[in-house]
Structure 1
Amino acid sequence: MEIYLLVIIFIGAWYWFDSISSREQAIATGRELAERFSLQLLDETVACNKVWLGRNSRGRVQLQRTYQFDVSANGSDRLSCELVLLGRHLQSWHIPPYLQPVSINPLY
């Protein structure tokens, strides 16, 4: 009975540490995607909303996590975005279409 408890504690600790490092990877990837599209990542909005099993290109089973995060185009708006990590690798992402702010140059 004690061995089962130790195994459960070990698996729980592994999952917790793995989730923390996956979230850090999601923040870094989200920031990179946001910069690519001239957006600002709102760091505190990154949250994992789905976890399931998936297979990588070698056929190995890994945890696949979907993260939701918000970005801003001009500081006063929010766009809800999504990225999917398989293990530590970006599998897919979605940033909705948005209007880029246009700077108006007055004629003098």
Structure 2
Amino acid sequence: MSELSDLLLLVLLLAVIGLWLKLSRAREQATQEGRQQCQQHGLQLLDESVGLRGMRMRRVHGRWLLERCYTFEVSIDGDDREPGRLWMIGQTLTGVSLPTIQSHLPGLSAEHLPPTPADNVVPLRPRLHKDSRLH
């Protein structure tokens, strides 16, 4: 029995190592995609790395595939840190979310931006108790 348990432990260890190597290669691919997206959109990829945020099953053309979400930080003008995300299935980029640069464009003053509300609090009416409705 000891040989069988040793064999199962070895197989489990090899499976964990294989999964770790596969996820490492996927992370390298995601880092490369993040770099490419940042270069294409005029952003700077900070820390030159991405981190796995989560995984989910996604249905594509009738098949369920594992989609990974990676997060990273970018800089628009070199003085800020903004979040970015990308989603990948296998080695294919399926989605990307980057910060908008509208407020960081040179020459774009506050008068050209859409007005922001003065207050984002919505006043609520006082809640009536059951007893007060009857009177």
TM-score range, shorter chain: 0.7 to 0.9
Q: Is the 8 A contact 2:86 2:95 kept in 1?
A: yes
Root mean square deviation of aligned Cα = 2.1
C-alpha distance in 1, partners of 2:15/2:82?
35
Q: TM-score, normalised by structure 2?
A: 0.65
C-alpha distance in 2, partners of 1:12/1:56?
27
1:106 is matched with none
1:51 is matched with 55
Q: Is the 8 A contact 1:68 1:80 kept in 2?
A: yes
Structure 1 unaligned blocks of 5 or more = 104-108
CA gap 1:8/1:54 in 2 versus in 1, 3 angstroms: farther
2:74 is matched with 71
Q: Is the 8 A contact 1:27 1:43 kept in 2?
A: no
2:87 is matched with 84
**Higher relative contact order (CA closer than 8 Å, sequence separation 6+):** 1
C-alpha distance in 2, partners of 1:57/1:22?
22
Aligned residue pairs, count = 102
Deviation string, structure 1 residues 27-71 (Cα, Å, up to 9, x no partner): 110011111110011134511011244455583x65421100011
Structure (1 or 2) with the larger CA radius of gyration:
2
Structure 2 unaligned blocks of 5 or more = 108-135
C-alpha distance in 2, partners of 1:53/1:10?
25
CA gap 1:84/1:94 in 2 versus in 1, 3 angstroms: same
Higher helix share: 2
Higher strand share: 1
Q: Is the 8 A contact 2:57 2:67 kept in 1?
A: yes
Q: TM-score, normalised by structure 1?
A: 0.80
Q: Percent identity?
A: 30
2:128 is matched with none
